[in-house]
Amino acid sequence: MVSRLHPLLVELAPGGIAREINVSAAQAFLESIVPASPAEQTRYDLARDLVDDICRLDVQLKESHKRIANAVKTSSTSLTDLFGVGPIADFERIPSEVGSQLASATLRWSGPRPRARLGKR
């Protein structure tokens, strides 16, 4: 969304925002703009909508992180004791990697796999 916001801000004022785009900077920037034409008003309205969407999504993301952290804490998992694994991690990938390592170890230990025979008719 920020990548869609930046071109609108550049169109509203030459150069757009001089620093990194964040919600408070974008809001302050938009407050300093007075649209002079219908096209500028449309860009202004679109930029305002994008800033509102970014604010809403930022709040939802923070709430989601809190819910996930609470769920992980109540699950009493020891997975988060591993270095680099926090409450929010790619938990779909970890079991598949562990499972594939176990499967490959089992295949190594159990010897060669039986091969299908293609009989002549």
- How do residues 23-44 score in pLDDT, each as one tens digit? 888 888 899 989 999 999 999 9
| 88-102 pLDDT per residue, tens | 665 555 555 555 554
Say whether pTM exceeds 0.75: no
Q: Rounded to the nearest 10 degrees, how much is the dihedral formed by the CA atoms of 48, 52, 53, 58?
A: 140
The token pair at 15 is 């150069």
